[in-house]
């Protein structure tokens, strides 16, 4: 059955003499240390039921070919299911039936072959214990010299070392070959723009109105009752046709109104809120998930991805989790008509750390 690559002989017979192959060398007075691990040899051979009982062998054979026939049925069923359960309509339910029945057929086809083959090998094929000895990894001297000679011959015949111009031009060609890929992939990155600059600025400008996501309706300060949470996008974002999602991914803001007594503001940010209304970036400073799980009593903001928690009452400082920085605050004020507007862009880049920002 299993044969050694080199000798091509079956080793099962040789194995029985394993214990006697210790070289007969006179030890003199030297103390021989016995090996801590002795080869226990094979466990006693235990015949299978299929070896002893012809009926059971027949049965095992039947099981094997039944499994193979089931596999054939499975394959045919997969083809039939493709035709019987087409994905033609707009109904997603069709996809489920189609995938389910094709999948069941394909699974039966593959599992039938797999289980059949394993059962065949285990229950019906010859059952003898054999040891497949490892051969030495290194070849002998002759083989090594032969290999060296092959390389030398090839070098001499091709002139790889001798014809330096050809060789060097080939090396040059191989080095230049990946360059188109580098240029093409570079084309996927922002063009003619500094990515650091792009990441550092959002759509918010002085005077940009805060509007509702997704409708773009501007928000009055009086609309925001205590305990409210508004999901906010900058004015004009909902009308963008190009790069809308990129802008939204940076500019999304959560607007909350706390009782002003409970709001503990940094002195230099005291003018950034309006009567307890605060606006913070929704993009987590850890890896950029949207942080919007706002608890109106505890004033905690929870990021669902890695459980970073921010305390809105304390300028969104990190109170738990892996986020490195507080959420950036958007300075807001109220315009003449009572609408909430941004005082400026965020004063720091929103979102996670990147190469120019830590």
Strand partners for 257: 277
Binding mask 168-207 for other proteins (x = CB under 8 A): ----------------------------------------
Nearer to other proteins, 221 or 330 (CB): 221
Contact 306, 321 (CB under 8 A): yes
Nearer to other proteins, 199 or 291 (CB): 291
Largest CA distance in the chain: 109
Q: How far is the CB of 130 from other proteins (least distance, A)?
A: 14
Binding mask 46-85 for other proteins (x = CB under 8 A): x-xxx-----------------------------------
Give 294's contacts (C-beta < 8 A, 6+ positions apart).
229, 254, 256, 300, 301, 312
Using CA atoms, how far apart are residues 31 and 102, in angstroms rounded to an integer?
70
Q: Nearest-5° angle of CA 127, CA 131, CA 132?
A: 115
Q: How far is the CB of 291 from other proteins (least distance, A)?
A: 8
Using CA atoms, how far apart are residues 3 and 130, in angstroms rounded to an integer?
10
Binding mask 325-344 for other proteins (x = CB under 8 A): --------------------
List 64, 74, 204, 213, residue binding other proteins (CB under 8 A): 213
Answer yes or no whether residue 231 interacts with other proteins by CB under 8 A.
Answer: yes
Q: How far is the CB of 223 from other proteins (least distance, A)?
A: 4
Nearest to 71 by CA among 120, 121, 117: 117
Answer yes or no whether residue 278 interacts with other proteins by CB under 8 A.
Answer: no
Give 281's contacts (C-beta < 8 A, 6+ positions apart).
252, 253, 254, 327, 328, 329, 330, 346, 350, 351
Stretch that binds other proteins, among 158-166, 228-236, 273-281, 330-338 (CB under 8 A): 228-236
Answer yes or no whether residue 294 interacts with other proteins by CB under 8 A.
Answer: yes
Q: How far is the CB of 276 from other proteins (least distance, A)?
A: 13
**SS3 for 123-175, per residue?**
HHCCCCCCCCCCCCCCCCHHHHHHHHHHHHHHHHHHCCCCCHHHHHHHHHHHH
Please give the residues from 247 up to 266 whose contact with other proteins meets the rule CB under 8 A.
256
- CA 82 vs. chain centroid, Å, equals 31
Stretch that binds other proteins, among 141-149, 218-226, 259-267, 273-281 (CB under 8 A): 218-226
Neighbours of 9 (CB within 10 A): 10
Answer yes or no whether residue 127 interacts with other proteins by CB under 8 A.
Answer: yes
Nearer to other proteins, 223 or 317 (CB): 223
Q: How far is the CB of 125 from other proteins (least distance, A)?
A: 10
| Interface size with other proteins, residues (CB under 8 A) | 41
Contact 78, 109 (CB under 8 A): yes
Positions touching other proteins (CB under 8 A) are 46, 48-50, 92-93, 95-96, 100, 118, 122-123, 127, 212-214, 219-220, 223-231, 256, 290, 292-298, 300, 302, 304, 309, 320
């Amino acid at each position: 059955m299993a044969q050694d690559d080199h000798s091509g002989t079956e080793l099962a017979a040789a194995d029985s003499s394993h214990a006697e192959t210790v070289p007969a060398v006179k030890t003199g007075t030297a103390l021989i240390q016995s090996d801590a691990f002795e080869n226990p040899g094979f466990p006693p051979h235990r015949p299978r039921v299929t070896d002893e009982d012809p009926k059971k062998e027949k049965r095992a054979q039947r099981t094997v070919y039944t499994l193979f026939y089931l596999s054939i049925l499975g394959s045919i069923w997969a083809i039939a299911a493709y035709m019987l359960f087409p994905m033609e309509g707009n109904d997603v339910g069709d996809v489920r039936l189609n995938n389910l029945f094709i999948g069941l057929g394909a699974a039966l086809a593959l599992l039938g072959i797999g289980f059949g083959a394993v059962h065949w090998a285990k229950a019906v094929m010859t059952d003898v214990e054999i040891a497949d000895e490892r051969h030495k990894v290194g070849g002998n001297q002759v083989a090594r010299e032969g290999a060296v000679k092959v390389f030398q011959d090839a070098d001499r015949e091709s002139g790889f070392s001798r014809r330096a111009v050809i060789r060097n031009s080939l090396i040059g060609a191989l080095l230049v070959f990946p360059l188109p890929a580098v240029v093409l992939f570079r084309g996927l990155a922002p063009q003619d723009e500094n990515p650091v600059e792009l990441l550092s600025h959002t759509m918010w400008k002085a005077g940009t109105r805060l509007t509702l996501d997704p409708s773009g309706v501007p928000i009055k300060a009086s609309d925001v009752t205590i305990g409210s949470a508004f999901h906010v996008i900058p004015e004009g974002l909902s009308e963008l046709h190009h790069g809308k999602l990129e802008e939204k991914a940076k500019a999304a803001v959560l607007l909350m109104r706390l009782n002003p007594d409970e709001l503990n503001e940094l002195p230099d940010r005291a003018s950034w809120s309006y009567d307890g209304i605060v606006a913070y970036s929704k993009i987590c400073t850890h890896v950029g998930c949207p942080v919007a799980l706002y608890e109106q009593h505890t004033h905690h903001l929870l990021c669902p991805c890695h459980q970073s928690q921010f305390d809105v009452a304390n300028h969104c400082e990190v109170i738990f989790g892996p986020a490195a920085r507080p959420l950036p605050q958007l300075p807001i004020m109220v315009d003449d008509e009572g609408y909430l507007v941004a005082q400026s862009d965020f004063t720091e880049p929103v979102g996670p750390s990147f190469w120019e920002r830590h």
